Amino acid sequence: MSELTTVARPYAKAAFDFALEQGAIEKWHEMIVFAAAVAKDEAMATFLSSAETLDKKVEVFINVCGEQLDEKGQNFVRLMAENDRLKALPAVEKLYSEFRADYEREIAVDVTAAVELTQQQQDNLAQTLEKRFSRKVKLNCSVDAAIVSGLYIKAGDTVIDGTVRGKLERLTHALQS
């Protein structure tokens, strides 16, 4: 996957820079998300690997995308196809989303709790995390009863393990050392 990320980075950066210049960040995001979904489709992946000509690949891919891609989006797909990079579109989507979030000073935070958080708890947590990260926080909450109690928070490379299960594991490790 890291190879695809390396391949996708210049395309995602170029698309984001162009979208920023045109004032169309959201529109480009929608186009890239759709094109990435088409590229992920098993039937499309099979076709792309077996199509005999580049023109045929591009024609079919763009026809499947239909009106979801404007002229500039179609040119972007053509460029990726010419360089045999259509399989990297899902990685382009991920990187584009990261560039967008960074530009908009947003961060996605995954929160796992033993029980479902109330809206008030989510709002309080979001406010606290916004202060800590100096960014607008988008919470993705999930429930896992196995953590017993507390919260497991992951934001990018930052992990905050305030769960009882995590504390017990750290205590067990300390006692075994």
Instruction: Report pLDDT digits (tens) over 125-154.
Output: 999 999 998 888 989 999 998 888 889 999
CATH architecture of 2-101: Orthogonal Bundle (1.10)
Query: What would the mean pLDDT of 40-46 be, rounded to a whole number?
Result: 86
Query: What would the mean pLDDT of 91-110 be, rounded to a whole number?
Result: 90
Q: Classify 156 in phi/psi space as left (phi over 0), alpha (psi -120 to 50) or beta.
A: left
* Residue 59: both structure tokens together: 């024609």
Nearest to 76 by CA among 144, 18, 9, 148: 18
pLDDT given for residue 113 in this prediction: 92
The answer regarding whether domain 106-176 maps to CATH 2.60.40 reads: no
pTM for the predicted model, two decimal places = 0.70
Give the chain's mean pLDDT: 89
State the pLDDT confidence band at 99, using cuts at 50, 70 and 90: very high
Q: Would you say 28 and 19 are in contact if contact means Cβ atoms under 8 Å apart?
A: yes
Strand arrangement, sheet containing 106-113: 136-143, 106-113, 151-155, 158-161
State the pLDDT confidence band at 2, using cuts at 50, 70 and 90: low
pLDDT given for residue 153 in this prediction: 93
Q: Please state the separation of Cα 162 from the chain's center in Å.
A: 25
pLDDT given for residue 112 in this prediction: 94
Q: Please state the separation of Cα 159 from the chain's center in Å.
A: 18
CATH 1.10.520.20-classified regions of the chain: 2-101
Tokens 């395309």 sit on residue: 11
CATH 3.40.30-classified regions of the chain: 106-176
Asked if the model's pLDDT at residue 1 lies above 60, the reply is no
State the pLDDT confidence band at 94, using cuts at 50, 70 and 90: very high
Query: What would the mean pLDDT of 49-78 be, rounded to a whole number?
Result: 85
